[in-house]
Amino acid sequence: MIEFQCDYAEGAHPKILERLVETNMDQTPGYGLDPYCDEARRLIRKACGREDIDVQFLVGGTQTNTTIICTALRPYQGVLTAASGHINVHESGAIEATGHKVLALPCDHAGKITAEQIKAAYEAHMNDGSSEHMVQPGMVYISNPTENGTIYYKQELEAISHVCHECGMPLFLDGARLGYGLMAADNDVTLEDIARLCDVFYIGGTKVGALFGEAVVITNPAISKDFRYMIKQRGGMLAKGRLLGIQFQTLFEDGLYWQISRHAIDMAMKLKKAFQACGYGFYVENSTNQQLPVLPDAVLEKLAGKYSYSFWEKTDESHSAVRFCTSWATKEENVDALIADLNQIRSQMM
Binding to a second copy, residues 199-228 (CB under 8 A):
206-207, 211-212, 226, 228
Cross-strand partners of 314 = 320
We find the least distance from the C-beta atom of residue 66 to a second copy, in angstroms, to be 6
Q: Does residue 35 belong to the site contacting a second copy (CB under 8 A)?
A: no
Amino acid at 171: L
Among 5, 114, 190, 220, binds a second copy (CB under 8 A): 5
Closer to a second copy by CB, 148 or 206: give it.
206
Binding positions for a second copy, 227-246, rule CB under 8 A = 228-230, 232-240, 243
How many residues interact with a second copy (rule CB under 8 A)?
Answer: 75
Among 135, 300, 337, 339, binds a second copy (CB under 8 A): 135
CB atoms within 10 A of CB 250: 25
25 DSSP 8-state letter? T
At 168, phi and psi to the nearest 5?
A: 70, 25
> How far is CA 55 from each of CA 138, 142, 154, rounded to the nearest angstrom?
22, 19, 23
Q: Does residue 255 belong to the site contacting a second copy (CB under 8 A)?
A: no
Range in contact with a second copy (rule: CB under 8 A) among 83-91, 265-273, 317-325, 335-343:
83-91
> How far is CA 18 from each of CA 37, 42, 104, 340, rounded to the nearest angstrom?
17, 21, 43, 35
Q: Rounded to a whole number, what is the largest CA-CA distance in the chain?
A: 64
We find the least distance from the C-beta atom of residue 264 to a second copy, in angstroms, to be 15
At 137, phi and psi to the nearest 5?
A: -65, 125
We find the least distance from the C-beta atom of residue 8 to a second copy, in angstroms, to be 4
Among 27, 52, 185, 333, binds a second copy (CB under 8 A): 27
d(CA 1, CA 157): 39
Q: Does residue 124 belong to the site contacting a second copy (CB under 8 A)?
A: no
d(CA 307, CA 334): 9
Binding positions for a second copy, 149-188, rule CB under 8 A = none
Among 10, 156, 193, 253, binds a second copy (CB under 8 A): 10
